[in-house]
Amino acid sequence: MSEQAHVLARLARLRPEDRAWLVGNLSSQQRQALMELAESEPAAVEREAEDTLRQSEARDAIEPCLSAAIALRAASAMDVGEVLAHEPAWLIRAVMSLEEWPWNEQLLQLLPAKMRVEVLQLPRCSLPIPVRESLILQCAQHLPASRVAAPTPTSQSILGRIGTMFVRRRLALRQ
């Protein structure tokens, strides 16, 4: 795609008032050139707009997870321990396996001896990206004074909330 078509696609994605302001500040020659370009490469402009929209949607989906990962990384072992206190050993191991968290070792020491043994006996696991993102988001959202989002009062465990989230996503995809 030409650079001009790329500029047109970006112009098309602007809010109408911003686009009107920009076009209004062009000279009549520049406006004419813009119109000619739009007429000569409509398919290229449309493809570029679709590609950019997909990239923007992907970026928007990633940003909350990045913020959550930063909050989780900055959390103390005690805070993470409180979030995972009533979770099964396999879920604790899954969270610890997401990455090399700075609190992994301290978290193990905070666990009751029986739970620590269970967690250590489980292998590190590799999870699909949507599951990883859900775990990170759910854990971070329930940290005290989380920078991601205020926790909503619930009696559901992290596992239950993740299951609910996946059901909602599946229903949204069907619509």
Give the mean pLDDT per block of 10 residues along the chain (175 residues).
68 73 80 73 59 55 75 92 92 92 95 95 88 88 63 51 58 56
According to the model, what pLDDT value does residue 148 have? Answer: 44
pTM score, whole prediction: 0.52
According to the model, what pLDDT value does residue 32 have? Answer: 78
According to the model, what pLDDT value does residue 42 have? Answer: 60
Maximum pairwise Cα distance, the chain: 77
